[in-house]
Structure 1
Amino acid sequence: MTEQVADIPARYYARMGEVLLRAGVDLFSVLEKVGIDPQLLAQPDAMLRIDQIEAFVMAALQVSGRQDLALDTGYALHITSHSSVGYAMLSSPTAGQGMRLLARYFRLVMPAFSIRYRHDAEHIELVFEPARLMSKACLMFHLEAIVAATYIALGDLLGEHLQAYDVFLSMPKPAHIARYAEMRHVRLHFMEWWTAPGIRMRFAPEIMDRRPVLADPDAFRRAEERCRMLAVNVLASGKVAGWVAMMLRESTDGIPTLTELAQTLNLSTRTLDRYLTMEQTSFRKLYHQVRHVRAKELLANSHLTVTQVAYELGYTDLANFTRAFRKQEGKSPAEYKHVARKNDRLTRLESMVTT
């Protein structure tokens, strides 16, 4: 069994601790019960393991008796709570650049979840999905906290220029549904029938060019460089594969090569390949995984034909694309596209019914 690594920022759960204290809960007793040193939460760069977080969240829900604890935890997280990534977003020249930066460096914010950024002519989407195994109750807590924290961050970023947007959650309506009325710009859709847990946030494309309240191109470049250097530090923690996958997934100017990624880390391609081998993977394996995910996104969320998707992904032969896709997905690209479009129509119908 692989030993769990403490790599999730404790600062977010320190905010939950503050919410518990304000509610009159004996926080120190709760921390003692779950085996977390109270001094750890006071350290800005402290990290927790996922099993510690699971135990803390479950104990907090039980002791406080508050099912809306996640919302207050999320409301307590302003954009500056996200360290260098938050400051980079605040100074980004446009909201679109800030969102793309968040997607590229989300592992620095919350490694327990992954985020994908999508942009087409109709809308912009941020998709949050769990990257770690956790109980249903703990997952629901995090989904609600992410929705609330993102609402606060967007308010910090755009102020009065924030426009209404849609949020789809893969969970049933909670008993405290009335509390969501506090999110003035959010149209909520609880999608209990989803098969994959997560959150989809959908924005009008005009938000891309919105200028953040504290936009500062020079400060943005410095903060972005700081984020890049922090990401490079994954070498010290043995998580090179996650960083490579992130760069492959979020690059907007074409999928980078092994040589380009090695240059970013000031390594030789051979050394980077060796790091990946130590994590029991390879650049080729990660490349194909990311390309398959990208294929599913394009088939489900774009107006491209199957042939156009194949060429977009670098295939020179449609048959090769179909064969590779069927091998991983169990169905042809055309079959996948048909099912995905059918599900999207159901989502739109559900959106109309719940609005």
Structure 2
Amino acid sequence: MPAPRSRRRPVTGTTVRVPARYYARAAEVLLRQGVDVARALRAARVAPERIGHPDATMRLDQVEALVADVVAQTGRTDFALDVGRALKLSSHSLVGYGMLSSPTADYALRLAARFFVLIMPSFRLRYRGGVPTQLHFEPTVRMSPLCLHFHLEVLAAAAHWELRELLGGELPAYELSFSMAEPPHVARYAELVGARPRFASESTPGVRLRFAHDFGARPLALADPTSLRMAELRCKELVHKVVAVGKVSDWVRMVLRESGDGMPTLVELAHTLNLSPRTLDRYLVREGTGYRALLREARQQKALALLDGGQMSITEIALELGYTDAANFTRAFRREAGVSPSAWRTRGRTTS
């Protein structure tokens, strides 16, 4: 009988770079709270004198090390909410300047969605005006669960406070929906007045703000056509210089891993990236893989986690992973692990 394959965790890439200015602001917030920021920066291998430079960037693996060290130091899971509140529209450089100079809230949010790659290259913002008005933040690169959940909460808190700033301090009530499970600090969401948080309610990784009220036509106090034209022109120039350094296959792996309600299809994944399914498949083939291979990998990882959890039957796990019955699941699992699901579970119990 072949030996079971090792239970390896996905390894995040080291090539994705994000603006350091947001983590410099996070360092300021944490320093005021007594966190040893110098230690966290050392853990992330980031030079303190570089993080505050306007053009400085950090690799995503450095960000993950920074977040992990702060959690290890403090034992806190809620500091992302403090970081999000500390961000202002002016924190986003030219994009924020363009938003403040926009004639209406709708124009400002459309501008933010167009140029969100300049704010946070590891995420995409989808905006839809009207009723309901929606802002949907989705990751575009692969990252660890801890790092993903940190960024989802930062984005949610930042969107709340920045929309209040944009609208002159008034923000309609809204639904705030996360893909992640309810955090231990859920009570702190009462600080986001008007938000109705819902957890594990998005089927793919991300966070969504949904307003029943259409506030897009509201004029903005600092509207300035000349400043807006200058900001947009400069943003377009910068976007042309942006180089996509993250692997498409890494992003697909992360979405499949984090999906909480079945597995997204190739068509659904392509739609998220504004690609045709054929183009997305071609990108994956170019990287030496394919959707079906990544789907098998993700299903196997989820199967291992569910089997080790011990709370669900083999049939329940099969249905959870999208198989039509337990027999199909057993055959697929045996091909990957070399043993049946029940044998894997029994081995885990005898070695624990």
TM-score scaled by structure 1? 0.64
Mapped pair 1:184 → 2:193: yes
Which structure shows the higher helix fraction?
1
1:204 to partner: Cα distance = 3.6
Deviation per CA, 1:105-153: give whole Å up to 9, x if none: 0000001111112235x31211111111111111111111101111121
For residues 273 and 156 of structure 2, the distance between their equivalents in structure 1, rounded to whole angstroms, comes to 28
**2:210 paired residue among 202, 205, 209:** 202
How far residue 212 of structure 1 moved from its aligned partner, in angstroms, is 2.0
Deviations, residues 46-74 of structure 1 (Å, cap 9, x unaligned)? 00111111111111111122211100011
Displacement after TM superposition at 1:3 (Å): 7.4
Q: Give the aligned residue type for 1:88.
A: G
* Residues 1:14 and 2:21 are matched in the alignment: no
How far apart are residue 205 of structure 1 and its match? 5.2
1:26/1:219 Cα in 2 relative to 1: closer, same or farther (>3 Å)? Answer: same
- 1:159 alignment partner, SS class: coil
Distance 1:24 1:289, change over 3 A: closer
Structure 2 spans left out of the alignment, 5+ residues? 1-10, 249-269, 278-352
2:234 is the alignment partner of 1:226 = yes
Residue matched to 2:167? 158
SS in structure 2 at match of 1:8:
strand
Distance 1:203 1:2, change over 3 A: closer
CA–CA separation in structure 2 for the residues paired with 1:130 and 1:154: 21
Deviation track 1:69-117 (CA, whole Å, cap 9, x = no partner) reads 1000111111110111011111110000011111110000001111112
- Percent sequence identity over matched residues? 45
Q: How does 1:134-173 map to 2 (within 5 A)?
A: 134-173=143-182
SS of aligned partner of 1:24: coil
Q: Which residue number corresponds to residue 87 of structure 1?
A: 97
In the other structure, the counterpart of 1:31 is 41
Amino acid at match of 2:63: I
CA contact (8 A) 2:134 2:208 kept: yes
Q: What is the TM-score normalised by the length of structure 2?
A: 0.64
Superposition deviation, residue 203 in structure 1: 2.2
Is the 1:140–1:171 Cα contact (8 Å) retained in structure 2? yes
Q: Secondary structure at the residue paired with 1:206? A: coil
The amino acid across from 1:290 in the alignment is N
Q: 1:94 to 1:289 in 2, by over 3 A?
A: closer
* CA apart distance, 1:33: 2.4
Local SS of the residue matching 2:146: helix
Alpha-carbon distance between aligned partners in 2 of 1:79 and 1:26, rounded to the nearest angstrom? 27
CA distance in 2, matches of 1:180, 1:61: 19
Q: Output the CA distance in 1 between the equivalents of 2:42 and 2:74.
A: 16
Q: Which has the higher contact order (CA 8 A, sep 6+)?
A: 2
Cα shift at 1:11: 0.7
Judged with a 3 Å threshold, the aligned counterparts in structure 2 of structure 1 residues 73 and 288 are, in CA distance, closer, same or farther, namely closer
**Which structure is larger by alpha-carbon Rg, 1 or 2?**
2
Work out the CA distance in 1 between the residues paired with 2:272 and 2:215.
Answer: 32
Shift of 1:8: 0.3
| Runs of at least 4 residues off by over 6 Å | 286-289
* Aligned-partner SS, 2:125: strand
Aligned amino acid, residue 192 of structure 2: M
Report the AA paired with residue 146 of structure 1. L
8 Å CA contact retained: 2:178, 2:208: yes
Q: How many residues align?
A: 246
SS at match of 1:160: coil
Partner of 2:223, secondary structure, is coil
Summarize the Cα distance change of 1:66–1:291 in structure 2 as closer, same or farther, 3 Å threshold: closer
